[in-house]
Amino acid sequence: MADRPVPIVEKRLMDVKLGELSRWITGRDFTPNGILASLRRGHNRYYNKYINVRRGGIGGVAMMLAGYVLISYIWEYDHLKHQRWRKKLVVNCWGRERKKKPTQQGTMKTVLEMFDVDMKIGDTVKIKVFIDSEADRFAISLGKDDLELALHFNPRFDDDQDDQVIVFNSKEDGEWCTEQREDSFFMFEKGECFKFSITFLGEKFEIKLPDYVLEFSNRTSMDTMTFLSVQGDVRVKSLKFDY
């Protein structure tokens, strides 16, 4: 007999049928933070998540309860099978604008946020995004939270100073530090998918792009990244951590 679902929501249910899950959920007091749960063992790409959503816009809505939505989707999130990911992850929104946050020289929509990431020295995150056809900029950030960032990787298609440029920065106590700009090349294209990876090497970050490698110093004392965010005019197609 196939393994039954083992939802990771406040506590584990070792013997629960999918049809009974909704009745169990309605009796729970969820916090505004979303918690990811694997729907079926052995199927690394199929997950449910509980999200506090202001707007709809994600396919596969299974039910609504008290302002929360149970959303089913199929994306390449193979890293969630790792034991380190039996922690709380928060996903604010996938490719749809829910709220805006102040960023460098303007605002970018928050596409994805994750907490308790536990990215240590030597670990790599691989990301594939689809860049919107009218994209202005996007950013990948790693750190402690959105006020303490060790890495802010920010490709810009229409920068006020350099037109097309990749901007690196860090943030301490909510304040941006000195920018590091890379304008010798710009290989991102609007309306296309793009894959790259970020490796945390302790004293620096290594960003591997097709046929090119960029580096940014770890200006902070962080030896573990617990927060990851994706912002801007992109949609996340896949995200995988290699430990």
Location of structure tokens 């573990």: 224
pLDDT of the residue at 147: 95
CB 233 within 8 A of CB 96: no
pLDDT of the residue at 185: 83
Count CB-CB contacts under 10 A for residue 21.
20
Residue 24 phi/psi, 5-degree rounding, is: -70, -40
- Smallest CA-to-CA distance from 196 within 110, 88, 124 is with 124
Q: Which CATH architecture has domain 100-242?
A: Sandwich (2.60)
- Dig out the tokens for 182 from the structure: 């890379």
Cross-strand partners of 162: none
Cβ neighbors of 91 (< 8 A, separation 6 or more) are: 34, 36, 49, 51, 112, 113, 114
pLDDT of the residue at 173: 94
pLDDT per residue, tens digit, the chain (243 aa), is: 444 443 333 333 333 344 444 444 444 433 333 333 333 333 333 333 333 333 333 333 333 343 333 333 333 333 333 334 433 343 333 333 333 333 344 468 899 999 889 999 999 999 999 999 999 999 999 999 999 999 999 999 998 888 899 999 999 999 999 999 998 889 999 999 999 999 999 999 999 998 899 999 999 989 999 999 999 999 999 999 998
What is the distance between the alpha carbons of residues 148 and 124, in angstroms, rounded to a whole number? 20
pLDDT of the residue at 183: 86
pLDDT of the residue at 75: 34
pLDDT of the residue at 96: 34
**Beta strand 46-52 pairing with 180-182:** unpaired
CB 177 within 8 A of CB 167: no
Location of structure tokens 């294209």: 189
Domain with CATH 2.60.120.200 in the chain: 100-242
pLDDT of the residue at 206: 98
pLDDT of the residue at 161: 86
CB 222 within 8 A of CB 144: yes
Instruction: Name the DSSP class of 137.
Output: B
What is the distance between the alpha carbons of residues 142 and 224, in angstroms, rounded to a whole number? 10
pLDDT of the residue at 162: 83
